[in-house]
Every structure is written in C-alpha cells, then in structure tokens.
Amino acid sequence: MEINEIFGLLSTIPTWVWVVGGIVIFVILFGDQKLWEFEVKFPMKHGVGRGEVEFECLKKKGSTIEVKFELEEIFHNKPIEIFLNDKLVFTVPQAKNTGRRIYIEENLDLQEPNEGDKVCVHIGGQEQFEGQLYRD
C-alpha cells in the first residue's frame, strides 16, 4: 500500500470520528487516574448542623481531603479537627470557619484507609460527628 492510498483511506473517515478520537487520546494522555475514594456523610444533627468528609487519591495529584459542613452559628470561629481511627489527620483553621457553609479541599499525606474506618469530627474540642467510611 502506498502513502497516497493510506491518505486516501484516512480521508474517508468522518470528521466527528477524528474529533471523538482526539478527545479520547487527550484524556488518556493528560487525565489522572483515581486510585481510591472514600467518604463519610454526617446527617443533620439538631443544634449543630451537617457535613461530609471525603478522602481521595489520584495517581498524579496524590491524596486529598474534601471537607463540607453547614454549621450553626455557635460553632463558627472554632477549630474543626478530623480524626481517622482516633488519629488527627486534618484541622480546619478557625479563620476558615467563619460562616454557615464551609468547603475546603486540600492535599493530604494519607495512606489508603479501609472501608468501615471510624471518622470523628471535633469542633471546638468537643466531638460532634462520628461515622464510618464507605467507598464512593
């Protein structure tokens, strides 16, 4: 097969196939692979609020923690400490706990946890939430 025949064959492929193929190749080359992801959700607790903590690890980016809380006013401006199996893994500074809604995503040096591991959240030194991790 000559080069002209190869180009002739390739020119018969529709444009949308080239676009879709280019996107797939781009994602494969530049995308990041999720190694693991766990989360725990805390339902509404009267007088406190509700929240969610998510641990994730991507092949290139590494492990991260994502913290989402909606807290009552009495818990604003207090440090939030997150414990995994009774070991402190992350602290939300008081300066970031200023309003009703809190959202933080930060890198974290964390080994892969196990499903069912215990997560506790202390606000102002008092345990307010407790739950178990599950795969997301």
DSSP one-letter string for 48-94: TEEEEEEEEEETTTEEEEEEEEEE-GGGTTS-EEEEETTEEEEEE-G
Looking at the structure, tell me whether residues 53 and 87 fall in a common domain: yes
Residues 15 and 61 in one domain: no
Q: Are residues 19 and 39 in the same domain?
A: no
pTM higher than the cut 0.85: no
**Whether residue 76 sits in one domain with residue 124:** yes
Distance CA 136, CA 129 (A): 19
Cβ-in-10-Å burial (0-12, 13-18, 19+) of 128 comes to: buried
What does the alpha-carbon distance between residue 68 and residue 102 come to, in Å, rounded to a whole number? 5
One domain, residues 58 and 90: yes
What pLDDT is recorded for position 121?
94
The answer on 96 and 130 residing in a single domain is: yes
Residues 6 and 40 in one domain: no
* Two tokens, residue 65: 């923690």
pLDDT at 43: 93
Q: What is the reported pLDDT for 38?
A: 95
Q: Which residues of the chain have a pLDDT value below 50?
A: none
The pLDDT value given to residue 96 = 84
Q: What pLDDT sits at residue 25?
A: 87
3-state helix, strand, coil in the chain (%, to 5): 20, 50, 30
Looking at the structure of the chain, the number of domains it has is: 2
Do 11 and 48 reside in the same domain of the chain? no
pLDDT of residue 130: 94
Tell me the C-alpha distance between 76 and 121, whole Å: 14
Within this chain, do residues 21 and 62 fall inside the same structural domain, yes or no? no
Whether residues 55 and 77 fall in one domain: yes
Q: Are residues 5 and 48 in the same domain?
A: no
* 125 and 95 in a common domain: yes
Residue 71: which domain range? 34-135
